[in-house]
Amino acid sequence: MENSVLIYEKYILIIDTNKDMTDMFDRFCAFCTGFMDERERSSARKHAESFSLDMNILDNGEIIYEKNPFYGFIIDEEINVFGTSFYSPCSVWPSKMYGKSSSGDYSVIDESNFSEYNSPAPFSVGIFFENKPQSYQVELIKQRSNDFFGMIENGKVEGFRLIVHKKYGEEVAL
């Protein structure tokens, strides 16, 4: 008797933007969630601290991680950026709307330019969740994403998507 067995299930909340996120995905995630990758770059730390202040999750200047609204939901995954591997709660994600040409130019993809801009542009950020994000968490990320582009960086959010990543195994009779 053969049966499919769910080995794991995780979620990736994708935030689509109109900007190259390669150099700022970690700052963006820290601003939106308070979570940083293991590199803990000072620019990301500043945004994580800002998140903690905004969410009032400090006690005598120390961040209380258990009070973070994403605690128990966001997980780190191993990612590779420019040949360096590290653990991060987020990653640059390929855009569905923008393409990149072989010369490094970006454009909105349509039928007339698809052959020229045939690689996906790194304009999206994926945030990794162990559990399905709750509606209040998604709304908080939506609000803070828009704030990030309104107050910190030029650009805009163009959409949100949720990917459910499931891994199955097959159980076979012996």
Residue 99 phi/psi, 5° resolution?
-120, 165
**64-91 burial: b if 16+ Cβ within 10 Å, else e:** eeeebbbeebbebeebebeeeeeebbbb
| Banded pLDDT at 82 (limits 50, 70, 90) | confident
First-residue to last-residue Cα distance in the chain: 9
* pLDDT given for residue 166 in this prediction: 93
- Please tell me which residue, 62 or 78, carries the higher pLDDT value: 78
**pLDDT tens digit sequence for 23-77:** 999 999 999 999 999 887 888 889 998 998 899 887 766 667 788 999 999 999 9
* pLDDT given for residue 162 in this prediction: 97
- Asked whether residue 136 carries a pLDDT value surpassing 50, the answer given is yes
* pLDDT given for residue 83 in this prediction: 86
- Please tell me which residue, 57 or 18, carries the higher pLDDT value: 18
Distance CA 59, CA 77 (A): 28
**pLDDT tens digit sequence for 121-131:** 999 999 999 99
